[in-house]
């Protein structure tokens, strides 16, 4: 390379550096000004309009929180007869073709119709009901006896 080429190359690098510096100086500061929040000494600075919106949102959430607390207190103080309510609940149960007695017992225990799977299976086997189970849709109330269940599913 000759001297003339080196000079033009260095002038080109100088001009490119100046353009990059000026671009960063003029245009990068505009993006920082357009942001609504800024960090300063660990605090977040927010515009006044946005602060008012935040305050309104906080007030709404506090009112909703107070309503929920009131509802919880009312539900705690309300008399509950959960045992009676559970017995009154009716559950739909489907026995499909090919379900084993263990599958039926597991499903009934899963919806709290029976309390012990093994007791139900033993009752069905001891009384000869295991071979007479019929597929179909059945309605069960919680707390019914094994005998009532057997009578329903072996029609």
pLDDT digits (tens, 9 = 90+) for 57-79: 899 999 999 999 988 888 888 76
Q: How far is CA 62 from CA 46, 52, 57, 70, in A?
A: 21, 15, 9, 12
Mean of pLDDT values over 104-130: 91
Distance CA 117, CA 106 (A): 6
Q: Identify the residue whose tokens are 């190359």.
A: 9
Distance CA 122, CA 42 (A): 69
Distance CA 7, CA 15 (A): 12
pLDDT digits (tens, 9 = 90+) for 12-55: 999 999 999 988 888 865 555 555 556 666 677 777 778 888 88
**112 near 89, Cβ under 8 Å?**
no
**123 near 150, Cβ under 8 Å?**
yes
> Is the pTM above the cut of 0.85?
no
H-run or E-run covering 42:
none
Mean of pLDDT values over 110-128: 91
Q: Is residue 91 very low, low, confident or very high in pLDDT (cuts 50, 70, 90)?
A: confident
């Amino acid at each position: 390379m000759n001297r003339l080429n080196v000079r033009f190359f260095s002038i080109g690098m100088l001009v490119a550096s100046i353009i990059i510096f000026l671009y960063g100086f003029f245009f990068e500061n505009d993006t920082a000004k357009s942001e609504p929040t800024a960090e300063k000494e660990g605090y977040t600075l927010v515009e006044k309009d946005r602060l008012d919106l935040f305050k309104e949102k906080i007030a709404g959430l506090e009112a909703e929180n107070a309503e929920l607390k009131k509802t919880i207190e009312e539900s705690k103080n309300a008399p509950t007869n959960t045992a009676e309510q559970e017995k009154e609940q009716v559950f739909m149960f489907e026995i499909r073709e090919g379900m084993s007695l263990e599958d039926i017992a597991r499903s009934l225990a899963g919806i709290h119709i029976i309390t012990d799977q093994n007791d139900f299976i033993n009752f069905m086997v001891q009384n000869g009901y295991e071979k007479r189970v019929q597929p179909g849709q059945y309605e069960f109330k919680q707390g019914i006896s094994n005998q009532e269940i057997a009578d329903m599913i072996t029609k």
